[in-house]
Chain A
Amino acid sequence: MSTYQWDWGIILQQVPESEEFYYQWLISGLGWTIATALSAWVIALLLGSLIGVLRTLPSRPLSFIGTAYVELFRNIPLIVQLFIWFFVVPELVPTVVGDWMKRDMPLPEFTTAVFGLGLFTAARVAEQVRTGILTLPRGQKNAGLALGLTLGQTYRHVLLPMAFRIVIPPLTSEFMNIFKNSAVALVIGLTELTFQMKQITGDYAPSNPIEVMTLVSLLYLSVALSVNRIMAFIEKKSRVPGYISGGK
């Protein structure tokens, strides 16, 4: 048997030479994790839908732009992308912009993490949305057009409402992934949940790492389960009466 001395009291202890308590650090970390993931998800959903739609259009240049985006953002590791956005991009853009990014951009770690994670996840959302559209019977698009709807109206009122319903399950996994992936942002100094865990167990309370890690794991788990429940609720609410998914 291990001789590890469990002591959950550590969570409630005050941080040495500080006004704060460890649990406050963890709550603050959880807050940044949730704020980063939710903001990035908004970007991922909007941009991902747009890119996914582009890839299904008859126009060669537009669908090429969509494909290029997906391949670029999907195939470079997220951690590398965050480094590039944080350290490299400010050096490559015009000096005025670069200086602004380095000195004046509000919450630089947070902002970079939101955009980096959002753009990365958008590529994955785009693939789901594209698959959803392509799963629909070809005749649906023709039916919309034959009634005189424009291609844009056909997407808006005919194709996308069904495509999104079909891809709720894979979008749920992407939504859950974005919370887990936000942990990568610790490499650019975002003080999210994993950053706090690392700080506490590394520098402050190295004798009680297991309690802190267990608690952090449980926090991630409960966030994931909540997201899952919310998406299940949305799926139920948007269910189409009489429609058997996957068949027609």
Chain B
Amino acid sequence: MIEINKISKWYGDFQVLTDCSTRINKGEVVVVCGPSGSGKSTLIKCVNALEPFQQGDIIVDGISVADPKTNLPKLRSRVGMVFQHFELFPHLSITENLTLAQMKVMGRSKEEASQKGLAYLDRVGLKAHAHKFPGQLSGGQQQRVAIARALSMDPIAMLFDEPTSALDPEMVNEVLDVMVELAQEGMTMMCVTHEMGFARRVANRVIFMDKGQIVEDCAKEAFFGNVEARSERAQQFLSKILQH
């Protein structure tokens, strides 16, 4: 579904990504973790071409992201993305947030778009808030709306960039629950997160990044079960985040 082939990327002289390769098969859930600044956000943004890269290629559902002939808006509309800071559109009501891209990108009618959007809003448990504005919801609620907004586009895969790290602790679980449910329904997911409980429950594979490189890319069982076999950097990282 998503094939990342030897991606390298530089900001000026600074190399953010070095030769990153991995693949995410249909229905797989892959968790990406690693220290801050290791390039996780950059890598996940390369997948839907929000960040350009200088070397390598990414193939999403058979379509090359690096090919200049690729219709990027169309490709992006088929890949859902959820951001650390939610990024709902503050001047639009929740319903309008859910329907804007459905109407502008997919050409759905207003009725069809609201029907679809409200169905997903109901799934994340927020149907009663449809008429409100993002600023009137809590962080956890906003992030659930953001997930519903992405799902309304019928994505073939979902990208998450630290979806819970801007949330107050008591709101983390309401978002993770939605993500777990999504994973169990067979959604293809690439999740940058440090929620190792989530990784243990639903991930198929765990990728560990450091200094722009993919250091570990292995099955969940191996990653958590056989810690001694992991690289030193991954062990250090794990011991830090698993302390709490």
Residues of chain A touching chain B, judged by Cβ–Cβ distance below 8 Å, are: 137, 139-140, 142-150, 153, 157-158, 161-162, 165, 240-244, 248
By a CB distance below 8 angstroms, the chain A residues around B81 are 142-143, 146
A143 contacts B135, C-beta separation under 8 Å: no
Whether B87 is near chain A, meaning CB under 8 Å from some CB there, is: yes
Shortest beta-carbon distance from A161 to chain B in Å: 5
- A137 to B134: give the CA distance in the assembly, Å: 15
- A244 to B104: give the CA distance in the assembly, Å: 28
B91 contacts A146, C-beta separation under 8 Å: no
Known interface pairs A142-B45, A146-B76. Does A243 touch B90 (Cβ–Cβ under 8 Å)?
Answer: yes
Known interface pairs A149-B105, A242-B133. Does A142 touch B50 (Cβ–Cβ under 8 Å)?
Answer: yes
By a CB distance below 8 angstroms, the chain B residues around A161 are 91
Whether B169 is near chain A, meaning CB under 8 Å from some CB there, is: no
Shortest beta-carbon distance from A136 to chain B in Å: 9
Find the B residue at minimum CB distance from A158.
Answer: B89
A137 contacts B77, C-beta separation under 8 Å: no
Shortest beta-carbon distance from B51 to chain A in Å: 9
B104 contacts A149, C-beta separation under 8 Å: yes
A147 contacts B105, C-beta separation under 8 Å: yes
- A20 to B178: give the CA distance in the assembly, Å: 78
Can you give 9 A-B contacts (C-beta < 8 A)?
A139-B83, A142-B81, A143-B88, A148-B76, A150-B73, A157-B100, A162-B89, A241-B132, A244-B135
Chain A CB count within 10 A is highest, among B73, B100, B133, B134, for B73
B83 contacts A143, C-beta separation under 8 Å: yes
By a CB distance below 8 angstroms, the chain B residues around A142 are 45, 50, 81, 83, 87
Interface size class of B (residues with CB under 8 A): 20 to 34
A153 contacts B136, C-beta separation under 8 Å: no
Whether B240 is near chain A, meaning CB under 8 Å from some CB there, is: no
Shortest beta-carbon distance from B140 to chain A in Å: 15
B153 contacts A147, C-beta separation under 8 Å: yes
Shortest beta-carbon distance from A20 to chain B in Å: 51
Contact with A along B84-107 (1 / 0, CB 8 A): 110111110000000011001110
By a CB distance below 8 angstroms, the chain A residues around B164 are none
Shortest beta-carbon distance from A160 to chain B in Å: 10
- A147 to B101: give the CA distance in the assembly, Å: 6
B73 contacts A149, C-beta separation under 8 Å: yes
- A139 to B161: give the CA distance in the assembly, Å: 11
Known interface pairs A140-B87, A142-B45, A240-B91. Does A148 touch B133 (Cβ–Cβ under 8 Å)?
Answer: no
Extra inter-chain contacts (17) besides given A142-B50, A143-B81, A147-B100, CB under 8 Å: A137-B87, A139-B84, A139-B87, A140-B87, A142-B45, A142-B81, A142-B83, A145-B50, A145-B73, A145-B76, A146-B80, A149-B101, A157-B89, A240-B133, A240-B135, A242-B133, A242-B134
Shortest beta-carbon distance from B213 to chain A in Å: 24
Shortest beta-carbon distance from B161 to chain A in Å: 9
- A143 to B101: give the CA distance in the assembly, Å: 11
Whether B69 is near chain A, meaning CB under 8 Å from some CB there, is: no
Whether B149 is near chain A, meaning CB under 8 Å from some CB there, is: yes
Whether B188 is near chain A, meaning CB under 8 Å from some CB there, is: no
By a CB distance below 8 angstroms, the chain B residues around A150 are 73
Find the A residue at minimum CB distance from B106.
Answer: A148
Shortest beta-carbon distance from B103 to chain A in Å: 10
Chain B CB count within 10 A is highest, among A140, A148, A153, A157, for A148
- A243 to B105: give the CA distance in the assembly, Å: 27
Find the B residue at minimum CB distance from A157.
Answer: B100
Whether B48 is near chain A, meaning CB under 8 Å from some CB there, is: yes
- A139 to B134: give the CA distance in the assembly, Å: 15
Interface residues of B in 96-121 (CB under 8 A from A): 100-101, 104-106
Whether B74 is near chain A, meaning CB under 8 Å from some CB there, is: yes
